Amino acid sequence: GRSQGGESVLGVAVTHTTTPRPRPTGTKLGFGRYLTDHVLVAEHDAATGWQPARIVPTGSTRAEIASGALQYGLSIFEGLKAFKTDRELRLFRPDAHAKRFAVSAKRLCMPEVPVETFINAVRALVRVDADWCPAQTGGGALYIRPTLYADESFLGVRPAQQHVFSVLLSPVDSYWDGEEHSLKLWAEREFTRAALGGVGSVKTGGNYASSLLAAKRAKERGFDQVLWLDAVKRDFLEEAGTMNVFVRIGDTVITPPLEGTILAGITRDSCLTLLREWGVPVEERPVSLTELGEAAKAGKAIEMWGTGTAAVISPIGEVAWENGSIKSTGFEVAPRLRKAIDGIHSGRDADTHGWIVSV
């Protein structure tokens, strides 16, 4: 239900719910199981442009059954987090997320949400549902999911004339089920995630839909997630579907370059910045299972980890395939990065990069 009233937050009209949603119970939130009381929506029509955003009760909006979103996957999203400190709620690099959102929109012929509009929408909604944000300890955060989707009722294949920009919030802690452990990844040689010229660098739902069968099979083999390999040689590391990947061989940290087939992760970028500041040798270049295997055989130290907003920094203990595997020999850089990123999120450490934006 909804209540009447003329409240607005940061210029966004708010209709408060009259039927608050059940609060999480138990000690573990997990990832994405709970939604807060409100969502933000703004409509766009090609003829008239953006309508003002509004915040309404979760569950009070509807989607168009003949839309490009449902029929053809015309949908993009972002994932960012709000953290609670003693003093405030704060966002991590919302401007970088807004810019990536605009790049995704362009690739799928969707209207651009101006960076300022995106950030204001996120701040307004987080303010309204601020009391849903868990403590930052234990990885707690409000996960913020902005989405842009085609909502025109039209079955022809062409850019849609009507779109909706929405934002929803989910209180989360760890992305992974069960005990903290280093991940086991299945190096996938049958299926691929993306090829040059496709939409691998776009945060669109279809990339996640197409990942599920490989992920299901990897799970059945006892692995946590798939490690995607390049579509040509099936040897070079791409990403892990919900994480970018980093490897350390000896003293050198290597991560695959942004050449159009992988997501330009914000956590990836933050890690590269920190590593360069620390004077750690870093290389953005193609790195293959073959190279890792040879380094392991030569007795070099190997460390692997994933980065992402949801996964933060997740150590990878092992990468395996039909007839081989590579194991991390120890974790040094990943825990240091985790501590640094957590420190910036929580306010324990100074934000020297302008990455934090107050809600």
Instruction: Name the segment binding ligand COI (CB under 6 A); options: 67-75, 254-262, 307-315, 340-348.
Output: 307-315
- Decide: is 309 part of the binding site for ligand COI (CB under 6 A): yes
3-state secondary structure of 113: coil
CA–CA gap between residue 272 and residue 10 (Å, rounded): 34
CB of 341 to ligand COI, least distance (A): 13
Instruction: State CA 298 to chain mean position distance.
Output: 36
Which residue number, 54 or 193, has a Cβ lying nearer to ligand COI? 193
Give the nearest residue (CB) to ligand COI: 79
Q: Which residues inside 64-83 make contact with ligand COI, applying CB under 6 A?
A: 79
Taking the least distance from each CB to ligand COI, the nearer of 54 and 165 is 165
Residue closer to ligand COI by CB (options 67, 242) is 242
The maximal CA–CA distance of the chain, rounded, in angstroms, is 70
Q: How remote is the C-alpha of 38 from its chain's centroid?
A: 21
Residues 346/136, Cβ–Cβ less than 8 Å: yes
Query: Which of 111/306 has CB closer to ligand COI?
Result: 306
**Could you tell me which stretch among 16-24, 148-156, 219-227, 304-312 binds ligand COI (CB under 6 A)?**
304-312
User: For the residues of 54-78, what is the DSSP string, one character each?
Assistant: EEEETT-----TTSHHHHH--EEE-
Kindly identify the residues of this chain, within the stretch 176-195, that bind ligand COI according to CB under 6 A: none
Residue 172 in the binding site for ligand COI (CB under 6 A):
no
d(CA 206, CA 310): 18
Closest CA to 274 of 336, 320, 225: 336
Nearer to ligand COI, 54 or 203 (CB): 203
Torsion (CA) 93, 96, 99, 104 in degrees, nearest 10:
-110
Residue (79 or 347) nearer to ligand COI, CB? 79
| Min CB(145)–ligand COI separation in Å | 8
Identify which of residues 68 and 308 has a Cβ nearer to ligand COI in the complex. Answer: 308
Measure the N-to-C terminal CA separation of the chain; round to a whole number of Å: 27
Binding residues for ligand COI, rule CB under 6 A, total 6
308 is a site residue for ligand COI (CB under 6 A): yes
CA-wise closest residue to 240 among 304, 181, 295: 304
Choose the stretch contacting ligand COI; rule: CB under 6 A; options: 20-28, 91-99, 270-278, 302-310: 302-310
CB of 312 to ligand COI, least distance (A): 9
- DSSP bridge pairs for 146: 167
d(CA 288, CA 279): 24
Place of tokens 């907003």: 309
Residue whose CB is less far from ligand COI, 12 or 237: 237
- Minimum CB–partner distance for residue 203 and ligand COI (Å): 7
Residue type, 189: R
Shortest separation between residue 64's beta carbon and ligand COI, angstroms: 24
**For residue 63, how many C-alpha atoms fall within 13 Å in the half-sphere facing its CB?**
17
Choose one: 3-11, 251-259, 308-316, 335-343; the region binding ligand COI (CB under 6 A). Answer: 308-316
The nearest distance, CB 238 to ligand COI, in angstroms, is: 15
Q: How many CA atoms lie within 13 A of 260 on its CB side?
A: 7
Out of 242, 244, 255, 261, the residue judged to bind ligand COI by CB under 6 A: 242
**Residues 204-233 close enough to bind ligand COI by CB under 6 A:** 208
**Which positions from 78 through 107 interact with ligand COI, judged by CB under 6 A?**
79
* Least Å from the CB of residue 265 to ligand COI: 8
Sequence-separated (6 or more) residues with CB below 8 Å from residue 160: 67, 68, 74, 109, 110, 150, 151, 152, 154
Contact 237, 245 (CB under 8 A): yes
Binding site for ligand COI (CB under 6 A): 79, 208, 242, 308-310
